[in-house]
Amino acid sequence: MRGTQPKRNLTFVNLKKKETNGNIIRKSYAQDIVHKAPIFPKPLEYADIDNAFREFVENDLGLTVNGKDVPTFTLYSNQRFSEYSQSWKHSDEDGNLILNFKTINRNTNPQGGENQGNLWNIPGNRFYTVLQRSVLEDNGTESIEIYSMKQPYAVTLEYRLSFVTDLFENISIFNEMVNELFKSRQFYIRPNNHYIPLVLEGVNDESKYSVSDYRFYVQTVNIKALAYIIHEDDIKVEKFPKRLHLGLMGDKKKDKVKIDIEEEEDGLTNQTINLSLKFEKWHDKAIFEIDTDMDIQEIEKDNIRNMRIFVNDTPIFYDKGFKVKSGDKIRIRIMQFDIKEEATLIFRGINPNYYYEKDYVPEDSSLEPLKHQEIEIE
């Protein structure tokens, strides 16, 4: 009896690229707003949205009748086309009525918007930080620029677009264009590079009127713009010096950091000490054991927003200086303005146990007082 061979295990690899949709697409829209653009989004107000809507009507709903582009007129009032047509005076050079054109009007009393799902803003008018970065001034000093803005507020603008023509066939063409654009429910305009969705609310027929015994057809489209508003005053830039003196606390983890201790004379009888710590980029912690007594009087920082320090597991809140003894275990954690750049921390103080006469010159060089000591800790 012949045995059957086992079936082969086949693994099929789907090489088709997965399509992105939903929130991923929405996030890409937000990134596109600021791509190759200034740090802040541009202001966005009613006039910007009105202009973008008019461009949408002229470009995406552009029509040509009898070889001529159909013009667009803006009313921007609550007046319906049927009322407006009673005083309608558009005519050509021969005095004949022009019966192929589009009109736009908008509700003059916009209400709270639906752009964020009918959610309200956070109470208050606080500014939220958008970005912070280091800048080099003309005089060589470094500063931190803080970019912040208020929360935009949502608003819904209701537009009424009317197409007037003397041929029913043109109405059909216009209707097909509208339904084609809104087949996915919404269409986006981009005032000042902001993606604003337009939603089709309805299509109405107002072809019941005549002007000077001329029959004409009118189709009106109601469109909502789910927008938000950013005023120019909602944006601000503040500048702060990069070197500050702040209090300290600490952390537990070790990290790679170079520590240089150099002690030098400043004219005092006490030996002065500069304890320098250099944090490599992407590093924010250090732990070491100091091998000299030191009275710390001043702290200098570069690219450090704030920091914490522990001495022998005791938190130190620096205000008017503090003291450390030889053998003390020091743990430091910092928060950089820019973690992608190096940070430097310098403790300035004196050795309280070491004195020397600055003008004393010994005959034997071996008796020269120690004025400089450099210690490097990895």
Each domain of the chain, given as residue ranges in start order, spans 23-116+125-235, 244-357+369-377
Average pLDDT in the 59-69 region? 88
Q: Identify the pLDDT of residue 359.
A: 62
Mean pLDDT of 338-360: 78
CA dist 54 and 70 (Å) reads 13
Q: Which residues pair with 218 in a beta bridge?
A: 164
Among 84-98, 129-143, 275-289, name the most confident range.
275-289
Q: Which of 180-194, 227-241, 355-369 has the lowest mean pLDDT?
A: 355-369
Do the domains 23-116+125-235 and 244-357+369-377 sit in the same CATH topology, yes or no? Answer: no
Average pLDDT, the chain: 77
Determine the pLDDT at residue 254: 46
The yes-or-no verdict on residue 234 having pLDDT over 70 is yes
Percent of the chain past pLDDT 70, that is, above it, reads: 66
d(CA 250, CA 307): 7
Quickly name the fold that domain 244-357+369-377 has. Answer: Jelly Rolls (2.60.120)
Higher-confidence residue: 83 or 330? 330
Q: Is the predicted pLDDT of residue 265 greater than 50, yes or no?
A: no
Give pLDDT tens digits for 163-186: 988 888 899 999 999 999 999 888
pLDDT one-digit tens code per residue, 196-210: 999 999 998 877 555
Highest mean pLDDT among 193-197, 255-259, 332-336: 193-197
Pick the CATH number of 23-116+125-235 from 3.30.2000, 1.10.260, 3.30.420, 1.10.8: 3.30.2000
**69 has a pLDDT exceeding 70:** yes
